[in-house]
Copies of this chain bind each other. A is one copy, B any other.
Amino acid sequence: MSEDTQEPGDGSRRRDAGATREAILLSAVEAFTRAGYDGAGVREVAGNAGVTAMLVNRYFGSKEHLFVEAVDRSFAPRTVVGDDPDALTEQTAISLAARTAPDADDLDPFLLMLRSAANPRAAEIIRAGVGRHVGRHLTDLLSGPDAAARAELLLSLIAGVWLMRKVVATPALAGMDQDSLARLLTDVMRPLIDPPPA
């Protein structure tokens, strides 16, 4: 709308600290999701954002702090489960089956978590991020006894499916059609979501 906040479009970006910082952060989310905390280098993040490595540390202090913000950014806008409490189980199962489909490869926070958790420091940061974002929201959505544990168990299941289907790519699971997987996942998730098991 306003012509003073335009982007050149071709590689070079005008001198704008906010936009540059945002570009670095987006590049970091992408790199950490694809290669994990240890596997993604500061130079790589900087290069994909069109800047040099030092600017990353200038804006974010260190790689570790960059990761903190990347985790926040990755987890923030995600709705791990649906919002409708009635069809929660089906929605969650279908959504997970769709997201982990062989073709679709968006930047999912679970991928970032899986591939970064090997580093102890990164694991702490992830734990904090999970607690801050999905954890509380999800626990509120679930009712009954052990709501918090059931919520984290649901996250465990989701993470496990991401791991085996997309990261390790076990053949039967990676090649399964979405509908069958969604049905199976619905049955598995039900004891965690729908009625508390006494």
Contacts of A168 in B (CB 8 A): 113, 117, 123, 126-127, 130
In the complex, residue of chain B having the shortest beta-carbon distance to the beta carbon of A145? B180
Q: In the complex, A51→B170 CA distance in Å?
A: 36
Q: Mark A169-195, 1 if CB is under 8 A from B, else 0.
A: 111110010001101110111111000
**Which of B114, B153, B164, B165 is close to A173, meaning CB atoms less than 8 Å apart?**
B153
A26 contacts the other chain (Cβ, under 8 Å)? no
Contacts of A113 in B (CB 8 A): 163, 168
A135 contacts the other chain (Cβ, under 8 Å)? yes
Known: A38-B39, A184-B153. A163 touches B171 (CB 8 A): no
The total of chain A residues at the interface (CB under 8 A) is 54
Q: Are B188 and A176 in contact (CB under 8 A)?
A: no
- Tallying the copies of this chain within the complex gives 2
Contacts of A181 in B (CB 8 A): 149
Q: Mark A140-177, 1 if CB is under 8 A from B, else 0.
A: 00000010111111011111110111011111110010
Q: Are B176 and A149 in contact (CB under 8 A)?
A: yes
A-B contacts, 29 listed (Cβ < 8 Å): A35-B118, A38-B118, A39-B119, A113-B168, A118-B118, A123-B167, A123-B169, A127-B169, A127-B170, A130-B170, A131-B170, A131-B171, A148-B171, A149-B180, A149-B181, A150-B184, A151-B172, A152-B164, A152-B173, A153-B164, A156-B163, A156-B165, A157-B160, A158-B160, A160-B160, A163-B163, A184-B197, A187-B197, A188-B192
Residues of A within 8 A of B (CB): 35-36, 38-39, 113-119, 123, 126-127, 130-131, 135, 146, 148-153, 155-161, 163-165, 167-173, 176, 180-181, 183-185, 187-192, 197
